[in-house]
C-alpha cells in the first residue's frame, strides 16, 4: 500500500496530470468510454497492447525521452479495473501508470527500458469482437514498419482523376495571344498530378496526358474504370465581353441527374456497372430508378461539398467569377457514383487572365489551391478503407520538439509532415497540433 502511495505521488509530476479519484461521478462515468480489458503480447522486438473498449474513442500518442516513455491520451475514457496495468511488465516495458487529465480524459504512461517507435490504430467491431485500440511498441532494432504494416487491414490511396478539358481536334477556347484552352488545361493537369502524387494517401490519374481528342463519355468511363473517388475536369472559360474574369466551380445539376438516370436505365441490361454495389440488370425499372436516384443524389451532394472547399481555396489566390458552386448538366460530370466537379480556372478571353493562365507559376499556384481544397474535403470525408480515413491522428507539440524529431518519431518524411499541415517553414509552437499522415511507405 505504501508503494502504491509513493507511485501515485511521483505520477503527479507529469504536466497537467492529476491522480484519478477512487470514485468517479456517476454522470461522468455514464458518458465515458470504458476500457474493459488490456491484453499484452510480445513477438521479436515488438510489444503489442490491445485495449478492449465498449465504444469508439479518440486518442493521441507521443514519446518522451530521458527517461524513455510513451504517453497515450484517450478522450472521455475510464479504466474499469486499475489492476489491469499494475503488474504489466516485460523486457521492454518497465511498468504502466494511469491518471486522469482534463476531468474526463485517461492518460496512460508506459515506462520503457529502451528507445521505441510507437504505433497505434483502431479496429472497428467485426466477427464478434468489439472496439479495440492497438498499441505497438517497436524498439530501434526492430524491422521497418513498412514490413509490419502488411499485418493490418489492407488500406488504399484515395484516387483523384484529373481531366484536362478538350484536346486534339477540339482546341477549346482561344485567347488574344493565341493561347489554346486544350494546352492550358493539360499543363495545369500535369502540375496537379505531380503535387498530388507527392501527397500521402492520394493517387492521381490523368484522364488525358497528351494532345489527342477524347469523347466526354470516355473521360467519365476512364475515371470509373480507375475506381476514382473524385473527378476534376479542368477548363478555361471564355466570354464575348473581355472584361469577364475569375474562376468558377460546377457540379451536376438536378436536371442533368434526371436525364442521366434515364440514360442509365435504358442501358441497364447491357451494363456491367455497379451502382452502390448493386447490379442493375437484375432489377425491375422502379427499383433500379430508386437506386440510381439515391446514388446520384449522394454523388451530387459530395460534388457540391468538395467543390465548395476548392472554391474557397481559389478565393485565396485570385478573383472568383461565381462565389458559390454552380450546377449544370455538363456530360463530364455525369458519373453516377464518382463525385465530379468542373473547374473553369479563369477567363482565357480576358487578356490579363490569359497571361496568368500562360504563367507556370500561376498554374502551380492554381494546382496547389485545388490540392488544398481536395485535402480539406477528404480530411472530413475520406472513403472507408483508405489511408486518409485514418488521418485523424494528431500530435500536440511539447517543448524541445522539431519537425525532424516528430518526423522521425512517426517514421515519416519532413516533407510529408509539412505538406499535410501546410507548413512553409520549420517553426513550431508549444501546444500546436499537427496532423500525422499515414502512408504505405512509412
Q: Is 34 helix (H, G, I), strand (E, B) or coil?
A: strand
Four-CA torsion 256, 302, 153, 413, nearest 10 degrees: 120
Q: What's the pLDDT tens digit per position in 142-196?
A: 444 444 444 455 788 999 999 999 999 999 999 999 999 999 999 999 999 999 9
Give rounded-to-5 percent helix, strand, coil for the chain. 35, 30, 35
- Separation of alpha carbons 138 and 68, rounded Å: 13
The CATH H-level superfamily of 393-435 is: LysM domain (3.10.350.10)
Please answer whether residues 163 and 186 qualify as being in contact, where contact means their C-beta atoms are separated by less than 8 angstroms. Answer: no
Instruction: Answer positive or negative: Cα dihedral of 238, 239, 240, 245.
Output: negative
Express each pLDDT in 319-335 by its tens digit: 998 889 988 878 888 77
- pLDDT bucket at 121, cuts 50 / 70 / 90: confident
String of DSSP letters for 222-278: HHHHTT-SEEEEEEEE--SSTT---BEEEEE-HHHHHHHHHHHHHTGGG---EETTE
Contact yes or no for 228/161 (Cβ under 8 A): yes
C-alpha cell recorded at residue 212 = 489527342
Query: What is the C-alpha separation between 332 and 131, in angstroms, rounded?
Result: 41
Sequence ranges of the chain with CATH classification 3.10.350.10 = 393-435
CA 235 to CA 369: how far, in whole Å?
15
Q: Which residues make up the CATH 2.60.40.3500 domain(s) of the chain?
A: 2-150
Question: Mean pLDDT throughout 248-264?
Answer: 65
- 265 Cα distance to chain centroid: 34
* Residue 356 in this model has a pLDDT that exceeds 90: yes
Residue 202, burial from CB neighbour count under 10 angstroms (0-12, 13-18, 19+): buried
Spell out the residues 6+ positions from residue 326 whose beta carbon is closer than 8 angstroms to its own: 248, 249, 250, 251
Residue 268 has pLDDT above 50, yes or no: no
For residue 104, which of 54, 58, 70, 53 has the smallest C-alpha distance? 58
Looking at the domain that runs over 2-150, which CATH code has it been given?
2.60.40.3500
Window from 268-282, 372-386, 428-442 with minimum mean pLDDT: 268-282
- The conformation of residue 142, written as its DSSP 8-state character, comes to S
The pLDDT tens digits of the residues spanning 93-104 come to: 888 888 888 888
- 264-299 in b/e form (b: 16+ CB < 10 A) is bbeebeeeebebeeeebeebeeeebbebbeebbeeb
Domain(s) labelled CATH 3.40.630.40 in the chain stretch across 158-381
Return phi, psi of residue 248, to 5°.
-140, 150
Q: What average pLDDT does the structure give for the chain?
A: 79
What CATH topology corresponds to 158-381? Aminopeptidase (3.40.630)
Amino acid at each position: 500500500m505504501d508503494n502504491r502511495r509513493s507511485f501515485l505521488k511521483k505520477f503527479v509530476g507529469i504536466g497537467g496530470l492529476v491522480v484519478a479519484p477512487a470514485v468517479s461521478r456517476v454522470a461522468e462515468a455514464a458518458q465515458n468510454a470504458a476500457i474493459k480489458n488490456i491484453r499484452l503480447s510480445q513477438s521479436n522486438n515488438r510489444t503489442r497492447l490491445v485495449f478492449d473498449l465498449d465504444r469508439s474513442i479518440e486518442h493521441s500518442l507521443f514519446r518522451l525521452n530521458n527517461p524513455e516513455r510513451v504517453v497515450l491520451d484517450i478522450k472521455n475514457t475510464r479504466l474499469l479495473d486499475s489492476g489491469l496495468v499494475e503488474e504489466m511488465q516485460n523486457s521492454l516495458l518497465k511498468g504502466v501508470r494511469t491518471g486522469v487529465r482534463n476531468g474526463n480524459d485517461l492518460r496512460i504512461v508506459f515506462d520503457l527500458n529502451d528507445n521505441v517507435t510507437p504505433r497505434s490504430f483502431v479496429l472497428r467491431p467485426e466477427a464478434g469482437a468489439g472496439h479495440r485500440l492497438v498499441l505497438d511498441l517497436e524498439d530501434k532494432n526492430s524491422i521497418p514498419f513498412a514490413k509490419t504494416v502488411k499485418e493490418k487491414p489492407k488500406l488504399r490511396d484515395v484516387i483523384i482523376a484529373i481531366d484536362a478539358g478538350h484536346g486534339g481536334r477540339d482546341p477549346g477556347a482561344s485567347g488574344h495571344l493565341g493561347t489554346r484552352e486544350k494546352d492550358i488545361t493539360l499543363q495545369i493537369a500535369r502540375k496537379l498530378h505531380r503535387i498530388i502524387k507527392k501527397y500521402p494517401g492520394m493517387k492521381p490519374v490523368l484522364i488525358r496526358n497528351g494532345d489527342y481528342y477524347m469523347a466526354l463519355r470516355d473521360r467519365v468511363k476512364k475515371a470509373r474504370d480507375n475506381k476514382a473517388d473524385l473527378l476534376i475536369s479542368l477548363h478555361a472559360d471564355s466570354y464575348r465581353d473581355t472584361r469577364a474574369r475569375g474562376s468558377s466551380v460546377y457540379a451536376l445539376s438536378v436536371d442533368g441527374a434526371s436525364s442521366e438516370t434515364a440514360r442509365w436505365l435504358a442501358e441497364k441490361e447491357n451494363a456491367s456497372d455497379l451502382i452502390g454495389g448493386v447490379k442493375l440488370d437484375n432489377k425491375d425499372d422502379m427499383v433500379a430508378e430508386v437506386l440510381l436516384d439515391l446514388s446520384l443524389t449522394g454523388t451530387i451532394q459530395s460534388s457540391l461539398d468538395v467543390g465548395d472547399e476548392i472554391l474557397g481555396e481559389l478565393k485565396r489566390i485570385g478573383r472568383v467569377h461565381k462565389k458559390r458552386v454552380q450546377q449544370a448538366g455538363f456530360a463530364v460530370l455525369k458519373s453516377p457514383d464518382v463525385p465530379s466537379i468542373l473547374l473553369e480556372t479563369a477567363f482565357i478571353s480576358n487578356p490579363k487572365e490569359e497571361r496568368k493562365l500562360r504563367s507556370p507559376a500561376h498554374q502551380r499556384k492554381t494546382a496547389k489551391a485545388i490540392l488544398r481544397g481536395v485535402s480539406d474535403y477528404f480530411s472530413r470525408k475520406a472513403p472507408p478503407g483508405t489511408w486518409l480515413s485514418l488521418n485523424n491522428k494528431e500530435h500536440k507539440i511539447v517543448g524541445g520538439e522539431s519537425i525532424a524529431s516528430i518526423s522521425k518519431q512517426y517514421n515519416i518524411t519532413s516533407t510529408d509532415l509539412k505538406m499535410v499541415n501546410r507548413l512553409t517553414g520549420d517553426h513550431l509552437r508549444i501546444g500546436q497540433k499537427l496532423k500525422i499522415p499515414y502512408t504505405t511507405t512509412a
